[in-house]
Every structure is written in structure tokens, then in C-alpha cells.
Chain A
Amino acid sequence: MEPVIIARGLCKKYGTLTAVDGISFEIRRGECFGFLGPNGAGKTTTVRMIHCVSPVSSGTLSVLGSQAHVDNRALKQQTGIVPQEITLDTDLTVRENLQVFAHFFAIPRTEARKRIAELLRFVELEKKSDSRIPELSTGMKRRLLIARALLNRPKLIIADEPTTGLDPQARHLVWQRLRRLKSQGDTLILTTQYMEEAQQLCDRIVIMHRGRILREGVPARLIAEEIGREVTEVRAAPEQDGGLLAALGPLARGHERVGDTLYFYCDDGRPLMKKVLELDLPATVHRPASLEDVFLKLTGRSLVE
């Protein structure tokens, strides 16, 4: 698959603060590519440069064959943005929001009417088409943002934390819609802090921290490489570390202590669990490894301020 986005040594500086610190990556046509990272990792800044609303400080960034730049109208014409914040026009109705945006993309009137009807159906908002924005739930607003991002039939869709603040039902509906776009062959970029979201949607991800890319790859493979298949969490005071590590350490690929918990990473957790039963450790959790473990291992389990 040919790359549609190529970043080389991409940097973004705000005064003395370096938000994005010389990252390189490629995004291929038709894939869903995820940027993961804690707050302030530089995910949003990166996608803002991709969709041409933030100037590149240094490095190169080629998107759909042209250089990303704030005055690159041709590129903006081909991208669809689902923003992190709800940037709907609160004075207007659902339909008017889409009509006004169709205008911004210079879509002819009859074509716009057709697409608006289609998109309202796609995001299940037909019945709300004449409602004003304050009358909508957060989930509906998010769906309308998706519809708005698709008005110009974009070649590239960027969703910046599209499910922030949604309840589980609404989140799953948004995921379904994004998955459907992916199955249509659209190129999708997603930023998220939710590991489940990344696992559900992304073909490949990068994990960002403090403006840099720590790891890149396919989610399942990253988990296998960094963690293994299973994780055992043992709640125990740090004073017990000596004994526990001597008994359990050799049975695991690796371990980590964070606060009141010892994490053991295993490919096959059965020998370790047998030992746990022998030792009769009551406060123990055994579970499959997840992207969250990778994420926390790489970016640190302590709070990122």
C-alpha cells in the first residue's frame, strides 16, 4: 500500500515549548492509523499539522501528495475533520449546520441536499434535522460532527478523540460508524486516550509521549512484544517484594511495581498462577494483556502532569 502521509523529522514549537519533537511516520491508503498518548503527548498537535490548521515548525509533512501548509486550501478540500471539541454552530439547526458547511466546501446546492439527506441517515439524525444544537445530547452532537466531516467526501478522515465524554452506547455507535468508513476503504486517522478504542479500530498505531514516538506497530503485535499474553497483578506491600520476586519472578517475562501492586507479564500464566495458589495470595488478578499495559509500561504508570 502506498503511503498517503509521510512525515520526516516533524517538529512543532510554541515559543520555548516543543510539542512535537522530530517525529517520522507513514500512513498508508485505506488504513486506520492511531495516535495514542497521554494528555500533552502531542497527538492533537500532530493531526492539526496534518489537516493544515497549524504551521509546521520544521521537518517535512506530505499529505495526499502535497506539502501540508495553513494556506493549502486544496488539501483542506479533501480532508474531513471530526474535532475533539464540539464546534457546532449553536445558532443553527442540524440541517443548517450541514448546509452552511457544504457552502464552505463549495458543494453545489442540489448535490449538497442529496449528501445531507444521506449523511443524516448514516448518523441516524434524520428525525433531529430541524432541532437546534442545544437540544441534542452529546452523543448526537458527536454524530453530527461525523456527518459534517464527511460532507466533502474526504479522501482522508481525521477523528481527534471522537468519543470523549460519551456513554458506552453512544461510544459504540460512533465506533460502528467509523468502522463502516474504514470498510469503505477510507483512510482514517484517530487520536485517542482510550486503549479499547484503538484496539477496536486501528490497524496500526504509534504511542506518543512528550512529543516523541515511543513505539509503532500493529496493536496485537505490540502487546505480544512488550507484555506477552497475560498479566498477573498481585496486591502486596513493597516489603514483600523480595520473597515474591524470588518465587514468581522466574515464571514471568518481566515484572513492574507500581504503588501497591506488582505486575507480572507472562506468555503462559499457568505456572505462575499455580505458584500464586500455593503461596495463597488472595489479592490477585489474572487477565489477558491489553494495549493499556503496553501504554502504561511505556509512558509510566504514574500520573502524567
Chain B
Amino acid sequence: MNLSRRIVFVFWRNMVSYKRFVMTTFLASLVQPLFYLITFGIGMGAYIGYFGGRPYLYFLVPGVLVTSVMMSASFECMYGTFVKMAHEKLYDALIATPVSAEDAVAGDIAWGAFRGLVSGSLMMIVAILMGILPVSPASVLLLVLLMVFVGILFGSLAMVVTSFAPNFDFFNYYSELVLTPMLFFSGVFFPLDKFPPWMKTLSQFMPLTHAVAVSRAIFNGEYSRGLILNFAVILGLGGAAFLFGVQRMKKRLIK
């Protein structure tokens, strides 16, 4: 693993390019989660009313936060990276400089995580404007930290997918067969405890489940010992996916 501080240069390249379409991405990353908040939160929330002593939105918002991190980081490390690799051949130019293939890929994962953080933070601001506040200012900071880890996790997983992708269409499999189901099996919209045992087990294999659990605990200040396991999954799987994704991409880039 030939990593260096040059990761920062790659991140900076993305920042220079980002300033051109920052507004469009703000809009794009806000719309879908906003729909969830409005339709589920307000529409369904009106039926559900209170949930564990608080309005339904306090249940929903922390889940939607990490979901939007997941979506943004994943899409950046799939489509964004693929365009740079296959269409613009930018990676070829990069690895001819002292930036190594590992630096380039790690820089893009860091970038994906950052894009996730931006989307999640925007959602948090919207939620706060709607009057749905995290339990304390410290929670806000912890949530930001969590979003960084969740971004690295999903950015790295998407990078693994990209390393195998022969073309754009390939990403549909991942987003339709993995990301979308995760949205419904990870306790974003409703608690998992009414699921039959096999579904509960299945949901434990979904990384988003663990991200949602930690996010909700921090948002509402309800900590329990089980969270250590959830967080360990985020860190462990994130680390493994990072190493594997970087390695796989290097193989693809250097022939």
C-alpha cells in the first residue's frame, strides 16, 4: 500500500472542479432525502404520532441523515470515479506523476466521504430549520464525525464496485440490488423489532443498519452498550472495504 500525503492533492483537484457545480449538487443531494422527510415524516408521521415518547420525525431524521451520506458517497465513488477513470482517462495522467495509484483512489474515497458529509450536513440544517434538533450541541459534532466514517465506509464499498465495473450499467445492479433494499431493511423508516427473525438477521448484514443505529442514538442521546458493536462494524467494514477497494483499483489502473 503506497499511500502518501499526496492524497490531499487529489482531494484538492476535486475541490477545484466541484466549485463549478456545487449548487446543482446541493439541489440533487437535498431533493431525495427531503421527499422522505416530507412524505414519511409529515404524511406518515401524522398517523403514527409519537414514537418512543417523541414525534416520529425524531426517529426518521437520524436515519435519513446517514442515508443521504450513503447515497452521495456511493454515487461519487461510482459514477464520478468511473468517468475520471474510463472516459476522461484522468487516472492515467495522475499516475504518471509522483501521485501513486493508491493516493489517487484514496483521494477519491476521501472526496466521496466529503460529498457525503456535505449532503448529510445539509439535511441536518434542514431538520434543524424544521425544529427537529439533535439533543445537544455535542451530538451535532458527534453526528458530523459519524458522517465522515459512514462516508468512508460507503465510498470504499462503492470503490470496490467501480473496480469491477465494465461500464455504467453495472452500477444499476449495486444501486438497485444493494443500496435501495438497504434503505428499507435498515430501520430508517420503522424499527426492526417487528421483523421475523430471518429478516432481523438479514438486516444485521446491512452496513446501513449499523449506521442508522448509531446515528439515532447520538441524535436522541440514548446510548447503549450494543452501539459499540454497531460502531465496530462501521469501522471494521469501512477499513476492510477501503483496503480492498484501493488494491483492486490499483490492479485495474496499472497493467
A residues near B, CB below 8 A?
Answer: 14, 51-55, 70-71, 73-74, 76-77, 79, 81, 83, 85-92, 96, 99-101, 103-106, 148, 152
Contacts and interface: CB of A to CB of B under 8 A. Distances in A.
B142 to A, nearest CB: 33
Give the size category of B's interface with A: 20 to 34
Nearest to B18: A91
Given A79-B96, A152-B97, 13 more contacts: A55-B254, A71-B100, A73-B98, A76-B97, A88-B93, A89-B13, A89-B88, A92-B16, A100-B12, A101-B93, A104-B97, A104-B99, A106-B9
B90 interface: yes
Contacts of B12: 100, 103
Contacts of A79: 96
A226 to B, nearest CB: 34
B94 interface: yes
6 contacts: A89-B88, A89-B93, A91-B17, A104-B9, A105-B97, A148-B93
Please report whether the interface of chain B is mostly helix, strand, loop or mixed according to DSSP. loop
B92 A85 contact: yes
Given A54-B255, A89-B90, A90-B88, A103 B96 contact: no
B13 to A, nearest CB: 5
A48 to B, nearest CB: 9
B254 A53 contact: yes
A54 B98 contact: no
B200 interface: no
B204 to A, nearest CB: 39
B132 interface: no
A83 B89 CA distance: 10
A62 B5 CA distance: 27
Given A73-B100, A76-B98, A100-B12, A91 B20 contact: yes
Nearest to B84: A89
B98 A87 contact: no
Contacts of B98: 73-74, 76-77, 104-106
Interface in B91-141: 92-101
Tell which of A14, A73, A79, A99 has the most Cβ of chain B within 10 Å: A73
A99 B16 contact: yes
A85 B2 contact: no
Given A87-B88, A103-B9, A104-B6, A51 B96 contact: yes
Interface of B: 2, 4, 6, 9, 12-13, 16-17, 20, 88-90, 92-101, 254-255
A79 B88 CA distance: 22
Contact of B89 (A77, A85, A96, A148): A85
- Which 7 pairs from chain A and chain B are nearest by CB? A91-B17, A87-B93, A104-B97, A73-B98, A87-B89, A81-B96, A103-B9
Given A103-B12, A104-B9, A104-B99, A83 B20 contact: no
A30 to B, nearest CB: 22
A134 B159 CA distance: 27
Contacts of A74: 98
A87 B104 CA distance: 15
Given A77-B98, A92-B16, A99-B16, A87 B254 contact: no
A52 B99 CA distance: 12
A207 to B, nearest CB: 25
Contacts of A148: 93
A100 B96 CA distance: 14
B13 A100 contact: yes
B151 to A, nearest CB: 21
A55 B89 CA distance: 19
Given A14-B255, A53-B254, A90-B88, A104 B94 contact: yes
A99 B16 CA distance: 10
Contacts of B2: 71
B255 A103 contact: no
Contacts of A83: 89, 92-93, 96
A51 B95 CA distance: 10
Nearest to B88: A90
Contacts of B93: 81, 83, 87-89, 101, 148
Contacts of A55: 254
Given A100-B12, A104-B9, A92 B97 contact: no
B86 to A, nearest CB: 12
Contacts of B101: 70
Nearest to B102: A71
A76 B89 CA distance: 18
A85 B88 CA distance: 9
Given A71-B2, A99-B16, A104-B6, A53 B99 contact: no
Nearest to A90: B88
Contact of A76 (B13, B17, B96, B254): B96
A74 B98 CA distance: 7
Nearest to B94: A104
Given A54-B254, A77-B98, A104-B97, A96 B92 contact: no
B90 A87 contact: yes
A54 B255 CA distance: 6
